[in-house]
Structure 1
Amino acid sequence: MAAARRGELTPAMRQVLAAERIDENDLLAGLASGTIVVPANHKHGSLRGCGVGKGLRTKVNVNLGVSEDCCHVERELDKVRRAIELKADAIMDLSTFGDTRAFRRRTVELSPVMIGTVPVYDAVARYGKEVGRITVDDFFETVHVHAEDGVDFMTIHAGLTQTALQRLKNRPRLSHVVSRGGSLLLDWMSANDRENPFYEHFDRLLALCREYDITLSLGDGLRPGCLKDATDAAQIQELILLGELSARCREAEVQVMIEGPGHVPLNEVVANMQLEKKLCQGAPFYVLGPIVTDVAPGYDHITSAIGGALAGAAGADFLCYVTPAEHLRLPDAQDMKEGIVAARIAAHAADIAKGIPGAQDWDNAMGEARRELDWTRMFELAIDPEKARAYRASSRPIDAETCTMCGDLCAVKRSRRILAGQ
């Protein structure tokens, strides 16, 4: 942000310009004002700069990491490699067990995409204490370790304050607090009868982020965990506080994103996007889903893609993928693939709706390939070429130019012949 305000292009900014159709002056203006961020810790040596925000492609994040129940480090590292192959724009390491630092360092080392973490998770794993006995210095030392390891953006639930919690107590929820980081801080605040340490010591956090050029992703600890709780007083109170904190980030020249819901009925998705943009002065919005119905376990990659497409079209800048395993178990590699593909479809659909320059060119090329019945080109253009080829190979037509759905009644082949005057 400081460089952009001086009118200077950094190497990471140049990489963004090479990957996006945005004017150099527009990029600098967006970075200077805070409507665009380029998460790029200077210790992440393998990083390829990626922009998130106004006028840029909607980006997709993948969550992974080891847990106590599924502590398979090499399997998770394979998922890191596979996520990169599947064109994820970011990876969040949410590890909560074992040698989390070794896993995090290996992830940063092999990943050209930006890496995010939630340090409060790691503080629990790192110190092995009851949550209430973790000290303020423990929390900040964990943030410092993640910074040293090259993490580009960090989720910090600094807006979950005593004021926000009072809103929750005044109007109880059906699903209470479903954010893991939010629940940990709730536990700490209750055990110590104190304010959220990241809110109370926010300037200390800003100093660390400024030193390493880490982007703050202000977490939504009070995001709704079911439709009934969506857009309630607790969620909006936290969002108001995040807006105030985002202004402090800009004053300190620290890049900031805002995290959002969560479970939201379809008719409230647009309003949630508008509220964030208004209250947070246009800061990039990073949303989980949103999941638009609660009754589809095993299919939540679909429920979130529906919400994500609408959210993106209405202004969301960054979609956190959701897999079929959401609410059920740790995702495996196949779950991860389905989640990435669903989120990428949603992001691309949103880009077309937003009029992102060049977004529809991809679709136009596919339309041309289908007109010509150019199957090789169709596979090359498919968002999942592997699946498209497998489907085609599983049912061979008599006429190799057509498919087994229509065969000799292929409308494309027939109309092309007639309109060509043959």
Structure 2
Amino acid sequence: MGLIDDARAGRLTEEMKIVAEAEGKTPDFILRGIASGRIVIPRSPYRYTRSVGIGKGLRTKVNASIGTSSDIVDVEMEVAKARTAEANGADTLMELSTGGDFLEIRRRVIEATTLSVGSVPLYQAFIEAIRKYGAGVDMPEDDLFRATEEQAKLGTNFMAIHTGINSICIERLRRQGGRFGGVCSRGGAFMIGWMLHNQKENPLYREFDYLLEILKEHEVTLSLGNGLRAGAVHDSTDRGQIQELIINSELADRAHAAGVQTIVEGPGHIPIDEIEANVLVMKRMTDEKPFYMLGPLVTDIAPGYDHIVAAIGASLSSAYGADFICYVTPAEHLALPDVEDVRMGTITARIAAHIGDMIKNNDRQKDLDMGRARRDMLWEKQFQLAIDPETAKLVRADRTPSDAEVCTMCGDFCALKIIKENIDLAR
């Protein structure tokens, strides 16, 4: 029995109770959200996982992605990155290695965290085919399903699976005359190459019911991958992207009907004037299933600062209704992220998620508390309320004021202190 089966039968599980308490909702609210497909709680029968709810009416969740590359395979660094993401408040983790021993790396990462861990089985299947046969296009179809089951048995909680790329999507790309930024998704690129070389339909689409059997057996949450997401703002909301969303929306309904918890992924590079439309269209097409926004990046010309670019897009996405955002680090488009990049990406994305929740969920109590703490110059209270207390403490300690009530920005001429000494404006 899966979580959807429990919810449909009216059975409250421990995960539902934990999420309800964390979110300030009733257990029945969570149960009804899961039964309708509007809330998911990734879990696994193979490991303990911190229960986190993703979906309508809940706090926007942040995912941190880690993993090796073909150039850098350092398992200890990936373990450190996983621990750093959890320590800095990530809600979930995706392990996306493309170099080294895939199963051993994932096993080590899973052992190092209590977060739900996601993966992309397609990476393993294609790269193993390259190693074995010399080309990913020679991958046997069954390897996609084998990799999915192998990773599920390790305790992987959710998987991004590129089911929505089919022959219709590829034809749409051709008919629209190509793209300015190409295809930025590794999974999308792998699958398109395989389909064109073999002149076959995507096995993950064609054999979707078989895929659902595997996911249901191992209680894996399906994250319908966005393989045709825009890799440049000039490609956003094009026909290829929308075609894939249509397919994934239909598959999401089939997955939910089969009792598989489902998330739908969204596009990556979007100018800010198209974010609201993307969220509204996705929510409408999927009957408000959880929306996982990848970024989005709202300009293409800020390498080294893409964590800031993504935070702008993510805050708007959250405000308009996105439920789940994937962090972007300062290393995006430049290099494999290191531990510090992961820390910075996680904190920046958490800021964006909170900004969105202030609008979407009218969640402004902490900001009210911070305003009062600043008014009253209560420094320890300010640190407690800060998203990153340690950095705030370090900055203040590095430039210690002569008057402990104020900071060195205004010093003797602190507006808050002047007002406090002359009039009581507390409320």
CA distance in structure 2 between the partners assigned to 1:203 and 1:283 by the alignment: 19
Asked whether the 8 Å contact 1:39–1:153 carries over to 2, the reply is: yes
Structure 2 unpaired stretches of 5+:
none
Question: Aligned residue for 1:405?
Answer: 409
1:370-402 Cα offsets, whole Å, 9 max, x none, are 122111221122111121112111212221110
- SS of corresponding position for 2:63: strand
Q: How does 1:46-125 map to 2 (within 5 A)?
A: 46-125=48-127
1:197 Cα deviation from its structure 2 partner: 0.6
Tell me which amino acid in the other structure corresponds to 1:66: T
1:341 Cα deviation from its structure 2 partner: 1.1
Question: Aligned residue for 1:220?
Answer: 226
Question: Aligned residue for 2:9?
Answer: 6
Question: Aligned residue for 2:423?
Answer: 419
Structure 1 unpaired stretches of 5+:
none
CA distance in structure 1 between the partners assigned to 2:336 and 2:110 by the alignment: 21
Asked whether the 8 Å contact 2:79–2:112 carries over to 1, the reply is: no
CA distance in structure 1 between the partners assigned to 2:396 and 2:115 by the alignment: 32
Q: How does 1:275-286 map to 2 (within 5 A)?
A: 275-286=281-292
Q: Aligned pair 1:143/2:148, yes or no?
A: yes
Question: Aligned residue for 1:377?
Answer: 381
CA distance in structure 2 between the partners assigned to 1:46 and 1:328 by the alignment: 35
Asked whether the 8 Å contact 1:37–1:52 carries over to 2, the reply is: yes
Asked whether the 8 Å contact 1:98–1:125 carries over to 2, the reply is: no
Q: Aligned pair 1:353/2:355, yes or no?
A: no
Tell me which amino acid in the other structure corresponds to 1:298: G
Question: Aligned residue for 2:253?
Answer: 247
Q: Aligned pair 1:311/2:317, yes or no?
A: yes
Asked whether the 8 Å contact 2:72–2:99 carries over to 1, the reply is: no
1:18 Cα deviation from its structure 2 partner: 2.4
Q: How does 1:156-167 map to 2 (within 5 A)?
A: 156-167=161-172
Q: Aligned pair 1:270/2:272, yes or no?
A: no
CA distance in structure 2 between the partners assigned to 1:232 and 1:154 by the alignment: 25
CA distance in structure 2 between the partners assigned to 1:61 and 1:261 by the alignment: 15
User: Structure 2 residue aligned with 1:154, among 135, 156, 159?
Assistant: 159
1:102 Cα deviation from its structure 2 partner: 1.1
1:11 Cα deviation from its structure 2 partner: 2.0
1:218-271 Cα offsets, whole Å, 9 max, x none, are 011100000110000000001011110011011101111011111000000000
1:123 Cα deviation from its structure 2 partner: 1.2
1:289 Cα deviation from its structure 2 partner: 1.1
1:105 Cα deviation from its structure 2 partner: 1.3
1:336 Cα deviation from its structure 2 partner: 1.1
CA distance in structure 2 between the partners assigned to 1:126 and 1:150 by the alignment: 21
Asked whether the 8 Å contact 2:63–2:91 carries over to 1, the reply is: yes
Calculate the TM-score normalised by the size of structure 2: 0.96
CA distance in structure 2 between the partners assigned to 1:332 and 1:416 by the alignment: 45
CA distance in structure 2 between the partners assigned to 1:361 and 1:37 by the alignment: 26
CA distance in structure 1 between the partners assigned to 2:12 and 2:109 by the alignment: 27
Q: How does 1:7-22 map to 2 (within 5 A)?
A: 7-22=10-25
- Number of residue pairs matched by the alignment: 418
Q: Aligned pair 1:41/2:44, yes or no?
A: yes
Q: Runs of 4 or more off by more than 3 Å in structure 1?
A: none
Asked whether the 8 Å contact 2:127–2:136 carries over to 1, the reply is: no
Question: Aligned residue for 1:25?
Answer: 28
User: Structure 2 residue aligned with 1:126, among 128, 138, 149?
Assistant: 128
Calculate the TM-score normalised by the size of structure 1: 0.97
